[in-house]
Amino acid sequence: MVYRWLTTPTIKIIVHEFQKCGLLPVFCSMFFGSDVFSGRLRCTGCPSWHFRHRGFPPPPMLLRWLCLSAICLTVFGCGAKPQTPMVIFLDGAGHFGYAGRVHRGLRQGGFEGRFQSFMWTSLLGPAVDHLVVARAGGRAGALARRIERIRAPDNQGRIHLIGLSAGTAVVVAALERLDNGVMVDNVVLLSSSLSARRNLTPALRHVQGHFYVTASRGDGILSVLPVNADGGSGPPAGRTGVQIPRVLANDDREQYRKVVNLPWKPAYAGTGWDGGHTRVTSPKFIEKVIAPRLRSDQLFPLDRPLYRQK
């Protein structure tokens, strides 16, 4: 029996966990044999998750070992001390693989730190991820623990969070679950399906830099969204930008100084973002707009904080 293309969700998660810890070559060699990089086997673009295999499938025992290893890497981490600066990226519902585009844009934009993709999908499809997993809290708690493990030995290193679509709900929920005093540097919400009216104060207290939110009225997916990923009312933040809740104490309003909405404008079309939902992950847009903001502690001249004291 010959396996020509392996693209199942199980293989995808195993590859993701090995890649995250820098062990993808180990995975390839164990799964496909020692001649993984020879002409007999071609690993065509690992981020695309397509593997050409011309031999026989591995024995069941090896498959079990690989699955167990991936689970251990997920639960306990890689074992090595994480290095900062670091970007942790959360894909949208269904985990359709936009991490590679974002990573490439950051590299092209001069970001030289580590990049990790945090897997939060249920593997049951975008609807389950959006309606159930994004607001359940389990994956948000796991992300919060990961951030705390990174921070424990390195209190000064820079940590940035980037979320796409429903992944932004997990990002915000994770920030809310961080222990007191644990901070990240900058947060970027791309095409967020989070409620624009959500009280972000608990999350913003764990952000010491800026909280950027892209928004587009031309987002066709968010315009027909029946319910926000966090279950909140009102329009999604990815269409209107974040809005300050009407009933909010003055101290809480001060936290919104960190929030900067980045509404779509015609000039962004030249970077590959035409206002569409996932087009915001265009490598050129990430390179020209997002990466410079992660590398700088200062607001850009045209950036306006959501709250400015009168």
Mean pLDDT score, 228-239: 95
Band of residue 80 on the pLDDT scale cut at 50, 70, 90 = low
pLDDT mean across residues, the chain: 83
Triad 51, 53, 58: Cα angle to 5° = 105
Band of residue 27 on the pLDDT scale cut at 50, 70, 90 = low
Q: Answer whether 0.85 is exceeded by the pTM.
A: no
Measured between alpha carbons, how far is 103 from 2 in angstroms, rounded to an integer? 33
- Answer for the pair 277, 99: CB distance below 8 angstroms, yes or no: no
Measured between alpha carbons, how far is 152 from 245 in angstroms, rounded to an integer? 33
What is residue 5's DSSP assignment? B
- Answer for the pair 213, 289: CB distance below 8 angstroms, yes or no: no
Measured between alpha carbons, how far is 215 from 199 in angstroms, rounded to an integer? 18
Band of residue 154 on the pLDDT scale cut at 50, 70, 90 = confident
Tokens 């269409």 correspond to 239
Q: Which helix (H) or strand (E) holds 73?
A: helix 60-76
Mean pLDDT score, 132-153: 94
pLDDT at 139: 95
The token pair at 195 is 């409620």
Three-state DSSP class for 287? helix
CATH number of 81-295: 3.40.50.1820
Domain ranges of the chain: 9-75, 81-295
